[in-house]
Amino acid sequence: MTRRVTNDRRDAPPVAAAAEMRRSRPTTMSNALHYKSNLRDLLFNLFEVNDIGNTVLGRGGFANLDDATARDILAEVDKLARTTLAASFYAADREPLRQDDAGNVLLPAAVKQSLQAYYDAGFGALELGEHLGGPGAPPSVIWAAFELIAGANPVVAFYLFGSFIAKIIDRLGTPAQKRRLLAAHVAHNWGGTMVLTEPDAGSDVGAGRAKAVHVADDLWEITGTKRFITNGDYDGPANIIHLVLARPEGADAGTKGLSLFIVPKIWVNEDGSLGDPNGVRVSKVEKKMGIKGSSTCELVFGDDRPARGFLMGNVHDGIRQMFHVIENARMAVGMKSAATVSTAYLNALGYAKERVQGPDLLRAADKRAPRVRIIEHPDVRRMLLSVKAHAEGMRALAFFTAHLQDQVELLGGHGGAQAAEIDCLNDLMLPLVKGWNSERGYEQLGIALQIIGGSGYVQDYPFEQYIRDQKIDSLYEGTTHIQALDLIFRKIAKDGGATLQALAARIQQTIESAEGGDDLAAERAALARALGDINGMLMALLGKLGESAYHVGLQGNRVLLALADTVVGWLLIRHAAVALARAPKAKAADRAYFAGKVASARWWTRNVLPSVTLARKMVEASDLTPMEVDEEAL
């Protein structure tokens, strides 16, 4: 893998060949099938780093899924993603959603075909346990499939949300609710939504005004307007199950007073058959910057006819119940960003290997010097390594977290006493996966576009759509700052820093045990410095709290990003150590892949980890100027 960097260009392509290459436009991605998956790196995370073949598959609730079957499932999903799902990626952007006279939302035909193909391939129940007809796959495998689907077509990935809603009803519903809803929901791939946001209740979910009036038993009637609801309406499934937060009459203000209701689009009779349309009306379909084929609706409940719903589990515990959905959605958002950066990287790499432009920098003064492919320019190499290392880092962060979720399940699930410690670590990781992947993802997509020059800006290539489709990730499911507040107050401060210390101890273990040997000594030293800086940063923030809690608001995002930069550095070093250990016995293609893993870790420790020191200094220097400057001066 090591590239000779010398003035001797005997290996450069002859001028005539180079001219021919220049004339030929790179074809790597300018076609309908934009998606380039990285199954190799996915499997590396799952089987070589996290070793799920030995630690998860064949155990507990995953007893009936073995290593080979899990790999087969992922290979099949990968094939479907690269072909049939990717086929509607552009249509999902360029063919608008329509509404019929009754207000029903109609999807572009190509998107419906992709969805149908997914169901026809038998993946509708992929994330479900065996008792619901699924394969009983662990979170790692489910998230791996999700990465492939979201990378191929994020719009299609959203429409598959219904099966997760079935999972939630199975987890939290009463036996009668499950009997009524689940069999039909799963058999017919009903759609699903999570319904929190209102015009005056965005980040401040507790400001919601939607009301619930008790009818009888677990039956309630909902009134109110919700906005920005993904999957709010679309044609295809026979029904959509809305999970709606609303406030029972007389309940407390704030999030604590909210309850969760199961509100079907079409009423579901006791035997699971469909009744009349329920009182849920689409009052607007949003026109968006990206993910245009995803139906984002304003929904009015109960204005022209009653909107009936069941109180989830027949208990008033709405926000806690909805968090089961929110946590899954936050993970999905981080995974979606990782998937998009990964395909952007591989597309940019393919282009850079073909596009010929300019001489080698070492022969810049020589007019007769052969023109070279842009992958040979140092600045393009710099950008490629940046996007590569981030794509791998985002995936590493997400699958480290997914593997924690595997372990939680094996230890008895959320709320189980034995699972508590790992569950807390999973909770700590979620704002990093969601916040860091989405923020860094947007930056890296800009770099990926830059790699291919002006072509990146036109619609012949997928980059501009990647950027538009990904930008939403730092906004919904809690903006990045909402993630930062969650991280600092709920995930770090609430347990007195115990969970963060447990994470730091794992990182320290890598440093002290000299993981990766001499080859990675410099990388571990950089990691040790970054870990010290994180500690210093948090101590500084704690000290500033005496002056004002505004410092948390001013510095929160910086803390989140720096912590994730450090955790990702740790994970990339661990990945490099595994790669180094496996390389000597590897096949040729794998040797190149393993060398690439080491290159990513080296790049990270030299180009990202030093920024943690700077971040610490900025937190130490935090002052209240932004809050003290007159509003008129802004």
Whichever of 408 and 445 has its CB closer to ligand FAD, that residue is 445
How far, in Å, CA of 232 to CA of 97, rounded? 13
Beta-sheet strands, E only, within 182-330: 191-195, 211-216, 219-230, 240-248, 259-264, 266-268, 274-277, 280-285, 296-301, 307-311
Q: Nearest approach, Cβ of 233 to ligand FAD (angstroms)? A: 12
Q: Give the Å distances, CA to CA, from 263 to 158, 195, 260.
A: 19, 10, 9
Applying CB under 6 A, the residues found at the interface with ligand FAD are 193-197, 202-203, 228-230, 288, 296, 472, 475-479, 481-482, 553
Residue appearing with tokens 């010398």: 6
Contacts of 153 (CB under 8 A, 6+ apart): 35, 81, 85, 86, 88, 89, 92, 114
Q: Nearest approach, Cβ of 168 to ligand FAD (angstroms)? A: 14
Q: Is 512 a catalytic residue?
A: no
Of the residues 298, 392, 439, 477, only one is catalytic, namely: 477
Strands 280-285 and 191-195, bridge-based pairing: unpaired
Whichever of 188 and 471 has its CB closer to ligand FAD, that residue is 471
Enter the tokens of residue 124: 């509708």
Query: Which residue number has the CB closest to ligand FAD?
Result: 202
Enter the tokens of residue 374: 């842009």
Residue appearing with tokens 């930062």: 484
Q: Which residues of 471-506 are buried (b: 16+ CB within 10 A; e: fewer)?
A: bbbbebbbbbebbbbbbbeebbeeeeeebbeebbee
How far, in Å, CA of 487 to CA of 480, rounded? 10
Whichever of 48 and 469 has its CB closer to ligand FAD, that residue is 469
Q: Nearest approach, Cβ of 369 to ligand FAD (angstroms)? A: 49
Whichever of 195 and 372 has its CB closer to ligand FAD, that residue is 195
Q: Which helix (H) or strand (E) holds 371?
A: strand 371-373
**DSSP string over 426-439:** HHHHHHIIIIIHHH
Whichever of 479 and 613 has its CB closer to ligand FAD, that residue is 479
Q: Nearest approach, Cβ of 229 to ligand FAD (angstroms)? A: 5
Whichever of 293 and 462 has its CB closer to ligand FAD, that residue is 293
Q: Nearest approach, Cβ of 128 to ligand FAD (angstroms)? A: 21
Q: Nearest approach, Cβ of 494 to ligand FAD (angstroms)? A: 17
H helices present in 81-217, as ranges: 91-94, 109-120, 139-152, 154-159, 162-172, 175-187
Q: Which residues does the annotation mark as catalytic?
A: 477
